[in-house]
Amino acid sequence: MPDSDNHRTAPSTNRIRSSSPVVMITGASSGIGRATAHRFARDGARLVLCARGRVDLHAVAAECTDLGAEEVSVQPVDVSHRDEVDHVVHEMIDRYDGLDICVHSAAVMSYGAFLDTPADVFDATVGVDLLGAANVARSTLTVFRRQRSGHLIIIGSLLGRIATPWMSSYVTSKWGLRGLTRVLRQEARRYPGVSVSSVAPGAVRTPIYERAATYIGRAG
């Protein structure tokens, strides 16, 4: 299981529970996730930063501490692995006695015609971008339903509404993610104090384009 690294001392059991919100952010090591972490840090939130890369997470954690976050915890995790997501959420609940907001922005990308993209690459993209979102939603909404409060924010994409060639795995994932989010929003109406939101940005300045696998001989 992944272990965690904390950039502030954990609160003791005798400490009065802080009024600062506990915010979990996936994909926090770069791009939209990193920008989201910065935004909540400026508000003095207690942050749980999740991504696969420990080194980049620590860099973002240091930035958030400098920006005013009350506390920052680093949690290396692959969202496509359900047991890792469950472990992180359970550990966070033990530490903070609750979760207020989860922003799910973890994503990967690949370029190439559908027939030229290896099946395992296609499957891996869908595994992170769609099934990973389902893993995060399942774990966090279970907590929100139990505590009768919480807000899940899922970062989708403009490509969940339109299609473009040479990005079949990403487009498939984001169209599926849009459908999943709409269902979650409908079902969350039964849970007092729980809400689900989606954000569908267009292109932003993020390393995902350069880091993507490519089978067209160039980056997107």
Task: Tell me which H or E stretch contains 178.
Answer: helix 168-188
Tally of CB atoms within 10 A around 170: 26
Q: Write down the pTM of the prediction.
A: 0.89
Strand, helix or coil at 133?
helix
The Cα angle at residue 44 between residues 42 and 45, in degrees rounded to 5: 110
Per-residue pLDDT of the chain (220 residues; tens, 9 = 90+): 455 566 543 333 334 357 899 999 999 999 999 999 999 999 999 999 999 989 999 999 999 999 999 999 999 999 999 999 999 999 999 999 999 999 999 999 999 999 999 999 999 999 999 999 999 999 999 999 999 999 999 999 999 999 999 999 999 999 999 999 999 999 999 999 999 999 999 888 777 777 777 778 877 6
Nearest to 146 by CA among 95, 184, 193, 82: 193
Rounded to whole angstroms, the Cα distance separating 85 from 200 reads 23
Query: What fold, for 19-214?
Result: Rossmann fold (3.40.50)
**What are the residues whose beta carbons fall under 8 Å from the beta carbon of 204, sequence distance 6 or more?**
31, 32
